[in-house]
Structure 1
Amino acid sequence: MTDTAQPTQSHLDTVDVATSNPDREQPWADLGLKSDEYAEIREILGRRPTSSELAMYSVMWSEHCSYKSSKVHLRQFGEKMTDEMRAHLMVGIGENAGVVDIGDGYAVTFKVESHNHPSYVEPYQGAATGVGGIVRDILAMGARPVAVMDPLRFGPLDAPDTHRVLPGIVAGVGGYGNCLGLPNIGGEAVFDPTYAGNPLVNALCVGVMRHEQLHLAKASGAGNQVILYGARTGGDGIGGVSVLASETFDETGPAKRPSVQVGDPFMEKLLIECTLEIFAEDLVVGIQDLGGAGLSCATSELASAGDGGMHVWLDRVPLRDSSLAPEEILMSESQERMMAVVEPANVERFLAICEKWDVDATVVGEVNDSGRLTIEWHGQTVVDVPPRSVAHDGPTYQRPFARPDEQDTLQADVAETLDRPKTGDELKATLLQLVGSPNLCDKSWITDQYDRYVQGNTVLAQPEDSGMVRVDESSNLGVAVSTDCNGRFARLDPYTGAQLALAESFRNVATTGARPLAVSDCLNFGSPEDPAVMWQFAEAARGLADGCQALGIPVTGGNVSLYNQTGETAILPTPVVAVLGVIDDVTRRTPAGFVAPGQQIYLLGATREELSGSEWAHVVHGHLGGLPPRVDLAAEKALGDILVNASRDGLIDAAHDVSDGGLAQALVEACLLGARKQGIGARVWLPDDLEPFVALFSESAGRAIVAVPRSEEVRFTDMCTARGFAHARIGVTDGEGDDAVLDVQDQFSVTLGELRATWSATLPAAFA
């Protein structure tokens, strides 16, 4: 028996009532609307809105849903896209997720989104429903979800609030993904004081489909039926992320904190399999998941993207709580729900498949040619709006932005003048201090809570440079994905910082042997009402758009998360960039760890004295200032080309990017991850033209280390020379196991056992 709400309100606010009672006061400010926005709604409707209409506009015009502060800057992702960049793009910005052609009739869809504030309020459910939401975005495109990733940011490791939120967030990410049977193949865990009180929980999902299985979110065809299926609607998540993510977070939070959504991964698993069977029988005209803004979003976006007309019987919506008012039903962000547009002849079969999978399904509406979205509640009209005004034509802000005066002072405070180690013993002590630091240490305490190999198609997973999954078992076609961002670099120079995030993610994909193909982003910033923060955002967006143009890969979609600050303290600008690449044969992938003794170690790319914003400056001196490493996207593209071709031709057996922690950290990780984590030692000599400290700890971009078999050394160096790319032999792999050593000649030597003990102890000790 389906519970539905009863018309218990004695003064139901219908369109007729709104017209006849135009002066009734409404709580528009409490719902997050500005006075001019409320006035615009009244102008659109020619009357005051009903309470249900006000609820819809408030969530759909929220920062989280409407992108009202950011879309003027996001347009350049399309404006700067060349025909070359569009070559593999099947679906771009504007749909639930981007879709790219990877060959052999396969397409891949991927996207990264945020669930930051909900995860602070309720860490487990906030993170879990973040995973659930992004999985449904991928499902709605017609794809089977095949993997997830989780870029995370926290306050200091020793902060009490980090100990409150981190275990719950990690458990939520793992619990939901593990129950769905989706491997978690990558991500990040970064610690910085600015994230205290405002952790970042970004979730990414990858899905695979055949070209003909692509579906879009649109309601077309008058007379077609609108079916809501999945979990019932409850009071959890009323307003949810749409409101919670659109206000500055402080000690008291919003005046009325919405409840965080509650996830049910087992229902989501049924919903996935049910939906895929529905797709297989070609039963839907359009489909949309219900995430942020719930029914308000699904109904208005489907109608707006289709023929423009839809009528909905709201009292037919299956409920978990029969006391919910129509406004609450429209605002609820209860999870595990989808909405499909189905031709009348296919409704019976659609409902039968849902019944087979024990998924509730109800016809709640019908497509028409009225050009209006009308919603009925027990025979009375509570919503009558032009759907585009709700879903797509919301306010657009030209927020003022200005480079802050303090930026010059910040950039002048360079790290290159800080005291640095000079002797071999001091270099060794610095290496061990960094290896065990929160941002560089082993993250297995986190990743061991995730199933990385379920489904049997995971080829590479954390702590590799990129996650990789096989797409086709017969041909071994696969994709690799990496997420990256250094918020300190973005704080020092947002334009360059965004490009460095792009470059590192691009490089991490290329080191595995996959050819970078497309980008998704999650742009996490503070309050857009602060001109300095808005300048950071504008510069980062410009930098990312220019960077993608230079590398020839498109932004396919993503997410903007603003108001990430506690009181007056904004987070570091954190433009997380995900790059997806394709590899023809996953059996030829290149791992990050050394595979055997006796191979030649080459450093690719140029090293400069670039220490500002580095982990060394952060960990040893608590310093942030100066300019980030310079970025050379032409060199990054050339490096990627070398790494992909060398992997394909069997010229290298291992490759690892050089980034956070510099060459020293890259060598440590390549040694410790070597020979399936048994460890492979290395003897290394540093170049004469660089100070040993700079050679080891500089974080110059555009670099990687590779292990070259002796038999391929001539071919490999010829490839680099032909491309005019800097390369230098800096060592040889030597010895196996914990007794093997990383020997930096004429400086210091340290056993892999000591390195492993230091690297792996930090998180277990913190959360014991």
Structure 2
Amino acid sequence: MSLADSDRELVVEELGREPTPAEAALFENLWSEHCAYRSSRPLLSAFESEGEQVVIGPGDDAAVVALPDSDGDEDTYITMGIESHNHPSYVDPFDGAATGVGGIVRDTLSMGAYPIALADSLYFGGFDREHSKYLFEGVVEGISHYGNCIGVPTVAGSVDFHDDYEGNPLVNVACVGLTDEERLVTAVAQEPGNKLVLVGNATGRDGLGGASFASEDLAEDAETEDRPAVQVGDPYAEKLLIEANEQLIEEQLIESARDLGAAGLGGASSELVAKGGLGAHIELERVHQREPNMNALEILLAESQERMCYEVAPENVDRVADIAERFDLGCSVIGEVTDGNYTCTFDGEPVVDVDAHFLGEGAPMNDLPADEPDQPEPDLPDADLESAFETIVSSPNTASKRWVYRQYDHEVGIRTSVGPGDDAAIIAVREAETGLAISSGAAPNWTATAPYEGAQAIALENATNVAVKGATPLAAVDCLNGGNPEKPDVYGGFKAIVDGLADMCATLEAPVVGGNVSLYNDSVSGPIPPTPTLALVGTKAGYDAPPLAVESDSESSLLLVGDLGLEFESFALGGSEYLGQHDGSDVFPTLPEEPAALIETIATVADDDATLATHDVSHGGLAVALAEMVTETAGLEVSLSTADPAGALFHEQPGRILIQTTAPDAVREAFDGVAPVVDLGSATTDGRLEITVGEQTLETEAATISDLRETISSELE
């Protein structure tokens, strides 16, 4: 760890002296890109983060959003947060991913909430590479181990493979928690004289410099040289911490809270008091430790997991210690809140004496040049339709992710009404008699092709996922992943995904209430595609939703809603898996003109009694969506008139859905003036998919489709 010369000059000017080694390391970590958002914060004002439902927006450990219940009241709150653990997951995929789960769950705890659902969005290099498979297996094992042990269901997410993640995978994890106004806690210190209490695991030397490690490109030797910067998780201690936190909140013993993540104790405690415009005095030797002879810097900056920093009124300290002991957790009274500087001593000797606000907010922002992203030149392949269908349906990007989610306990907590494998998960929030739909993901092919339009499409895609389950968007959090922002072309792509995501979320009236930024995702393999993961939630009355699979109802109709390509008689294939598999390029598809009205209408129609099945059309296009809807007992006969069969089957314009309905005229009426509706065909009872497109007919058995879609399982088992 080393403080940059320009930053050191600012620190010296503020302090009037040279910083101590502990101060220099603290500034180096808290002024890193990972903590201070020096390159991204100037762009984030593009997001609309306010709304009647928003209780706490960006800036705290997690956002807080009010849920409307059946009576129109808003007494139940959810928390939303998202975190990246990208570099640690490259160095140590199991522990890197596991501690990412632990960190976002503790962000939830610090708001006085109980975690009820997780969503993970994962991005790896080409699936045909052994190293990518190694990282993939380790990350999934880490997420499943930690989530299953702490008893929080992983219900949603995504997995994408793209060559440009080969040297730098992404692991983005979101968490939803449940709280209410009386339980709500923030990370704003309240009053001088209150004690700072550290509860949880003992502090060791793991994770030293993790924040600065996350703020630089991965080197070729990162897997060995940077291993000490990766934290080691203990999910059983986290489970105890979850239950202890619940007891502390129930007894109203906590004034404010912050979990110990990036920059460890120094980051959590200084940010806590800075938000309250206060200071603190901490005696570092009081911190309970698990390794001998730790020095002040190690105690201050170690990122050992499963730890919380609480502000506690003096009269409640003994009760907090009793609860910690009951749950077999360590507990140290490490200092108190003051109205002065942020100071730390070690064995009576001063090691830190700085203004907390300057430490947390004093980092200068970067003014970086940004190049406009290039527009792709059309270069369309001439592929055989039948072989292309098999290739796209069996691609790891569009194939079944059952191998992943079957390792997750997605039913623990008995709230999961619709689990992974569908367009969106639904969690039963019985406290508000509300179904909470959750969708999370990005689309690297889209944003690599057209960063701005692709990011817009990602927002619309996640909103469509919740809408086809009958829910309307409530709020979202994002994880903005990019490469080295000092490269103008990379920063230009990153700026474009910020603007695209912000514009579409504003159009959909889905405030972006929080998030995370991860830059310097560069390696010897080059930069990652700009990757704006969005975790979006929506609400609906009740907990039921139309299924994805069709029913064998011969009296029903299968309708395609929203395909502008059919309306224009042309198809833009840019960003599609079809072009990705055949080394082609094209411009990105046109987005719907009235996306908010489209989403609202989809949700209304999905909840109609005449609707038998619904499915979003996205990655892999219409061909994959149709293949996913058939079963061994219910097939589809589909006919599509077009002069461009490949374009019709494989283009990936977002905002399209398939609806199986017994009232097709009512569906057409509902979408009149909102989106085009095309009658595709009907269901059969023989488990066969027959697609007539133009002058060609593709016929596939459900069993064959099932085999094609098991690409990941067949490769890894």
Paired residue secondary structure (2:396): coil
8 Å CA contact 1:142, 1:279 repeated in 2: yes
8 Å CA contact 1:460, 1:468 repeated in 2: yes
Question: Which amino acid in structure 2 is aligned with residue 391 of structure 1?
Answer: G
Paired position in structure 2 for 1:418: 381
Summarize the Cα distance change of 1:651–1:643 in structure 2 as closer, same or farther, 3 Å threshold.
Answer: farther
Equivalent-residue separation in structure 1 for 2:252 and 2:551 (angstroms): 47
- Structure 1 residues without counterparts, runs of 5 or longer: 1-29, 422-426, 673-677
Equivalent-residue separation in structure 2 for 1:148 and 1:610 (angstroms): 35
Q: Would you say 1:715 and 2:663 are equivalent positions?
A: no
Instruction: Give the counterpart of 2:698 among 733, 736, 748.
Output: 748
Instruction: Give the counterpart of 2:470 among 513, 524, 529.
Output: 513
Cα deviations by residue, 1:436-464 (Å, 9 ceiling, x for unpaired): 11111111111111111111111112210
8 Å CA contact 2:94, 2:139 repeated in 1: yes
> Aligned-pair distance for 1:130?
0.5
Cα deviations by residue, 1:511-534 (Å, 9 ceiling, x for unpaired): 111110111111111101111111
Summarize the Cα distance change of 1:507–1:535 in structure 2 as closer, same or farther, 3 Å threshold.
Answer: same
Paired position in structure 2 for 1:461: 419
Cα deviations by residue, 1:597-633 (Å, 9 ceiling, x for unpaired): 32211100124211122101111x133x33222223x
Paired residue secondary structure (1:613): coil
Paired position in structure 2 for 1:699: 652
8 Å CA contact 1:161, 1:197 repeated in 2: no
> Aligned-pair distance for 1:545?
1.6
Summarize the Cα distance change of 1:164–1:318 in structure 2 as closer, same or farther, 3 Å threshold.
Answer: same
> Aligned-pair distance for 1:467?
1.5
Higher alpha-carbon deviation: 208-217 or 284-293: 208-217
Equivalent-residue separation in structure 2 for 1:568 and 1:691 (angstroms): 36
Q: Would you say 1:522 and 2:479 are equivalent positions?
A: yes
Paired position in structure 2 for 1:20: none
Equivalent-residue separation in structure 1 for 2:25 and 2:223 (angstroms): 17
> Aligned-pair distance for 1:656?
0.9
Higher alpha-carbon deviation: 541-550 or 184-193: 541-550
Paired position in structure 1 for 2:261: 291
Summarize the Cα distance change of 1:326–1:724 in structure 2 as closer, same or farther, 3 Å threshold.
Answer: closer
> Aligned-pair distance for 1:76?
2.1
Cα deviations by residue, 1:326-364 (Å, 9 ceiling, x for unpaired): 111111000000000011111121111111111111110
> Aligned-pair distance for 1:728?
1.6
Equivalent-residue separation in structure 2 for 1:679 and 1:479 (angstroms): 30
8 Å CA contact 2:598, 2:674 repeated in 1: no
Paired position in structure 2 for 1:145: 115
> Aligned-pair distance for 1:38?
1.1
Once the two structures are superposed, the pairs formed by residues 226-237 of structure 1 within 5 Å of their partners are 226-237=196-207
Across the two proteins, how many residue pairs are aligned to each other? 703
8 Å CA contact 1:518, 1:581 repeated in 2: yes
Equivalent-residue separation in structure 2 for 1:322 and 1:120 (angstroms): 29
Instruction: Give the counterpart of 1:622 among 571, 574, 583.
Output: 583
Equivalent-residue separation in structure 1 for 2:676 and 2:55 (angstroms): 36
Instruction: Give the counterpart of 1:659 among 618, 626, 647.
Output: 618
Question: Which amino acid in structure 2 is aligned with residue 449 of structure 1?
Answer: Q
> Aligned-pair distance for 1:573?
1.0
Instruction: Give the counterpart of 1:259 among 229, 234, 241.
Output: 229
8 Å CA contact 2:483, 2:520 repeated in 1: yes
Instruction: Give the counterpart of 2:218 among 249, 268, 277.
Output: 249
Paired residue secondary structure (2:594): helix
Higher alpha-carbon deviation: 540-549 or 645-654: 645-654
Equivalent-residue separation in structure 1 for 2:401 and 2:336 (angstroms): 50
Question: Which amino acid in structure 1 is aligned with residue 408 of structure 2?
Answer: Y
CA-based RMSD = 1.7
Once the two structures are superposed, the pairs formed by residues 445-484 of structure 1 within 5 Å of their partners are 445-472=403-430, 476-484=433-441
Instruction: Give the counterpart of 2:609 among 643, 650, 654.
Output: 650
Paired residue secondary structure (1:120): helix
Once the two structures are superposed, the pairs formed by residues 725-744 of structure 1 within 5 Å of their partners are 725-735=675-685, 739-744=687-692
Q: Would you say 1:90 and 2:48 are equivalent positions?
A: no
Question: Which amino acid in structure 2 is aligned with residue 450 of structure 1?
Answer: Y
Paired residue secondary structure (1:390): helix
Equivalent-residue separation in structure 2 for 1:201 and 1:400 (angstroms): 28
Equivalent-residue separation in structure 2 for 1:393 and 1:652 (angstroms): 55
Once the two structures are superposed, the pairs formed by residues 129-528 of structure 1 within 5 Å of their partners are 129-240=99-210, 242-253=211-222, 257=226, 258-370=228-340, 372-403=341-372, 407-408=374-375, 411-412=376-377, 414-415=378-379, 417-421=380-384, 427-472=385-430, 476-528=433-485
Paired residue secondary structure (1:586): coil
Once the two structures are superposed, the pairs formed by residues 576-591 of structure 1 within 5 Å of their partners are 576-587=533-544, 589-591=545-547
Equivalent-residue separation in structure 2 for 1:71 and 1:525 (angstroms): 14
TM-score by length of 2: 0.95
Paired residue secondary structure (1:732): strand
8 Å CA contact 1:116, 1:202 repeated in 2: yes
- Structure 2 residues without counterparts, runs of 5 or longer: 70-74, 566-570
Which aligned runs of 4 or more in structure 1 are off by greater than 6 angstroms? Answer: none
Question: Which amino acid in structure 2 is aligned with residue 725 of structure 1?
Answer: A
Cα deviations by residue, 1:557-582 (Å, 9 ceiling, x for unpaired): 11111111112611111111111111
8 Å CA contact 1:55, 1:330 repeated in 2: no
8 Å CA contact 2:445, 2:580 repeated in 1: no
Paired position in structure 2 for 1:685: 639
Q: Would you say 1:765 and 2:714 are equivalent positions?
A: yes
Paired position in structure 1 for 2:568: none
Cα deviations by residue, 1:467-508 (Å, 9 ceiling, x for unpaired): 1111116x6412111112111221222111111111111111
Cα deviations by residue, 1:98-156 (Å, 9 ceiling, x for unpaired): 11111231111112211001001011000000000011111111111001111001111
Equivalent-residue separation in structure 1 for 2:212 and 2:105 (angstroms): 21
Equivalent-residue separation in structure 2 for 1:219 and 1:638 (angstroms): 43
8 Å CA contact 1:249, 1:564 repeated in 2: yes
Paired position in structure 2 for 1:17: none
Question: Which amino acid in structure 1 is aligned with residue 550 of structure 2?
Answer: F
8 Å CA contact 2:91, 2:224 repeated in 1: no
Paired residue secondary structure (1:630): coil
Summarize the Cα distance change of 1:297–1:254 in structure 2 as closer, same or farther, 3 Å threshold.
Answer: farther
8 Å CA contact 2:92, 2:223 repeated in 1: no
Equivalent-residue separation in structure 2 for 1:352 and 1:605 (angstroms): 59
Paired residue secondary structure (1:441): coil
> Aligned-pair distance for 1:171?
0.3
Cα deviations by residue, 1:287-309 (Å, 9 ceiling, x for unpaired): 00011111111111011011412
> Aligned-pair distance for 1:553?
1.4
Paired residue secondary structure (2:219): coil
> Aligned-pair distance for 1:679?
5.0
> Aligned-pair distance for 1:744?
3.5
8 Å CA contact 1:150, 1:202 repeated in 2: yes
Once the two structures are aligned, what percentage of the paired residues are identical?
A: 37
Cα deviations by residue, 1:259-302 (Å, 9 ceiling, x for unpaired): 31000000000000100110011111100001111111111101
Cα deviations by residue, 1:539-568 (Å, 9 ceiling, x for unpaired): 111122222221111111111111111126
Question: Which amino acid in structure 1 is aligned with residue 369 of structure 2?
Answer: P
Summarize the Cα distance change of 1:157–1:284 in structure 2 as closer, same or farther, 3 Å threshold.
Answer: same
Instruction: Give the counterpart of 1:670 among 618, 629, 644.
Output: 629
> Aligned-pair distance for 1:256?
6.2
